[in-house]
Structure 1
Amino acid sequence: MLRRRVKRRDVLLLMAGVAMSTTRSHAQKPSMPIIGYLCPESPELFASRLQAFHQGLGEAGFVEGRNVKIEFQWADGQYSRLPALAADLVARNVDVLVAPGGAPVALAAKAASATKPIVFEMGGDPVQLHVVDSLSRPGGNITGVSSLSVDVSPKRLEFMRDLVPTATKLMVVVNPTSPTAQSQLQKLHAAAATLGVRLEVLGASKEDEFESVFAAATSDGAGGLVFTSDPYFAFRSSRLAALAMKYRVPAITQTRDFPIAGGLMSYGGDFMQSHRRAGIYAGRILSGEKPSDLPVQLVTKVELVINLKAAKLLGHPFSSAFVAGADEVLE
């Protein structure tokens, strides 16, 4: 009898232990997958991009609050915070880390984890920046979307030269902290030599440096300002547009946000499509696909957006041919 009671007690204890273990595992397991969203800016500045990401995520079958949770980290324009914010999201054990908004975000995410699935969105060349091994076979734990908008900076120079054909000097504004700064400048200098125009390069990596750039363009008699592709510039389009009109300087940037805010013109990739596709990739990874099996997608569409009212105020009206070649004309 004693032996039977001992056996029964052992079985009961074992059953209790299994029940406790099962309860504990259910308590620890999240009710839905979690996306970690690493953003270089503030929610206000990133609203349109985030909307496009949600659209793509929905196309992949995921809706925030219904069957996926998103945890955000916002750098608020302080890009030096990105590595720590990326590490924090990795520590929260998110299922996939999304790194949109440029090369600095992608590089911070990649440095934070060699195993956590990562989806980036950028305008630079992810192979040249050593983010992936190749576009078709990214390898490792990271893939994403690129508009390759840094490659069209010389075309912005050409558009400015077409608008101001008598200009002998144009100014280029570059963010010296950008990982793509030097490659863009090399291409711009080559384009300037072909166009027969002299370039003066000005650096700006902080918002309080913007005004001195426009003031210099006015005082030095530059025909116009050409901004390199850089997320820090793109997300401050309203400020740049206001300064361009204040100093009456023709300027071109990479994003349509600039002419929409009252600036002259923009030429660059379609950011709505690149962020939407990042959302689709995040959803596909949550559904079980591996980043290494998903080739880097290229958003090849680039768009020229012009603002006729700004051109009139600046005294540089667009020719009929220029207007005909624009993808969008703002009245």
Structure 2
Amino acid sequence: MRFLRGTFADTTRRLGRRGFIALAGGASWTASVRAQGLPVIGYLGSESPERYASRLAAFREGLADAGYAEGRTVAIDYRWADGQYNRLPALAKELGSLPLTVIVAPGGAEVALAAKSATAKIPIVFEMGGDPVALGVVESLSRPGGNLTGVSSLSVEVSRKRLEFMREVRPTAGRFAVALNPRSPTSDTQLKNLQAAALSLGVELIVLKASAEAEFDAMFTATRDEGAGGLVFSSDPYFAYRSQQLAALAVRHKVAAITQSRDFPLAGGLMSYGGDFSQSHRQAGRQAGRILKGEKASELPVQRVTKVELFINLKAAADLGITVPLSLLTSADQVIE
């Protein structure tokens, strides 16, 4: 367990926009780079480069582990959906039309599925928190088949554990709110898991849905007005990339909440429990590096990042009048004072 001083810790490493954006887009830029003898990675992002900052840093570390450095031994052609996930299929199709060595599709099932639908020829490396087999992304973890491989974490699988942790800090509460993104391919599975957990705990669930930032405030208002003991977020990249906004709302509405991303308690929210995104994105960089060296995606096993981390913000707990059980504190990866 590691203690952090201060009320806010920013874990994202800001990188200049030059590092995020290709000097020119499209086939002409890719062909020009290839003429210089560099392999080219197509990178499909669901958000903006700023929101991906810490994830991109980890991805580049993975590339470095494999012996590649952007701008020197490999080039990257980026496409960003800027939070408009309905743009992902068109952006993926654009990348699929280019002479790329590999496409990297990190940030969840939506990105992976968009990339898969765009090309059956260019190797694809995905990164997600859900089960890629259940979602139809690959045939199996050990022998993916087709042109996709990648990295999967346990963020989706442990969504029910967040409800259990929330019950530990609010043991007398009889109902809790759950935040779901109805557009997520894993929302139905996560809701079933959360309902099963609620049944075993003997508590009632209030299901709240949001797929746009304009709907966030209403979720916290409903949690408070319904007398719920806390708000439990399902695993979803759209929520994870907006951790600071969600933390600010949790503080303003005085709502106990738990999400998948450490960025939430680091920004002032109560707790987080989910997969270590730095490890999964770094592993995606290593997988891409193996393909750059000539390995086939169909023969590269999907990597499983099994580390799950618990972050607790004690200042947030004090402001909410919560005494965090010692058993929870001792099992936390980081406690923020």
Amino acid at match of 1:170: F
The match for 2:208 among 202, 209, 229 is: 202
Q: Deviations over 1:194-229 (max 9, x none)?
A: 000000101000001000000011111011000000
Identity of aligned residues (%): 64
SS in 1 for 2:156: helix
| Residues 82, 27 of structure 1: alpha-carbon distance in 2 compared, 3 angstrom cutoff | closer
Q: Is 1:120 the equivalent of 2:126?
A: yes
Residue equivalent to 1:160: 166
Deviation at 1:30, TM superposition (A): 4.7
TM-score normalised over the length of structure 2: 0.89
- 1:316 matched to 2:331? The reply is no
Match of 2:270 in 1: 264
Q: C-alpha distance in 2, partners of 1:28/1:160?
A: 52
Give the TM-score of the pair, scaled to structure 1.
0.91
Structure 1 position 41 matched with structure 2 position 64: no
For the residue of structure 2 that corresponds to 1:149, the secondary structure is: coil
Change (3 A) 1:64 1:218: same
Alignment counterpart, residue 53 of structure 1, candidates 53, 59, 82: 59
Hey, what does 1:286 align to over in structure 2?
Answer: 292
**Which residue number corresponds to residue 68 of structure 1?**
74
Task: Kindly provide the CA deviation profile for residues 78-105 of structure 1, in whole angstroms up to 9, marking residues without a partner as x.
Answer: 0000000011111122110000000000
1:241, distance to aligned residue in structure 2 (A):
0.2
Quote the RMSD (CA, aligned, Å).
Answer: 1.3
Deviation sequence 1:122-143 (CA, Å, 0-9, x none): 0000000000000011001000
State the distance in 2 between where 1:49 and 1:187 align. 27
If asked which structure has higher relative contact order (CA below 8 Å, sep 6+), I would say 2
Q: Deviations over 1:261-287 (max 9, x none)?
A: 110000000000000000001011000
**CA distance in 2: counterparts of 1:27 and 1:287, whole angstroms:** 18
CA distance in 1 between partners of 2:327 and 2:189 (Å): 31
1:132 equivalent in alignment to 2:138:
yes
Amino acid at match of 1:260: L
Unaligned runs of 5+ in 1: 1-24
CA distance 1:247–1:26, change in 2 (3 Å): closer
Aligned length in residues:
307
Structure 2: 5+ residue stretches without partners: 1-30
Other-structure match for 1:97: 103
**Counterpart selection for 2:242 from 215, 236, 246:** 236
Alpha-carbon offset, residue 31 of structure 1: 2.0
Equivalent residue letter for 1:155: K
Larger radius of gyration: 1
Q: Contact 2:168–2:325 (CA<8 Å) still a contact in 1?
A: no
1:42-86: per-residue Cα shift (whole Å, max 9, x none)?
A: 111100000000000001011001010000001111000000001
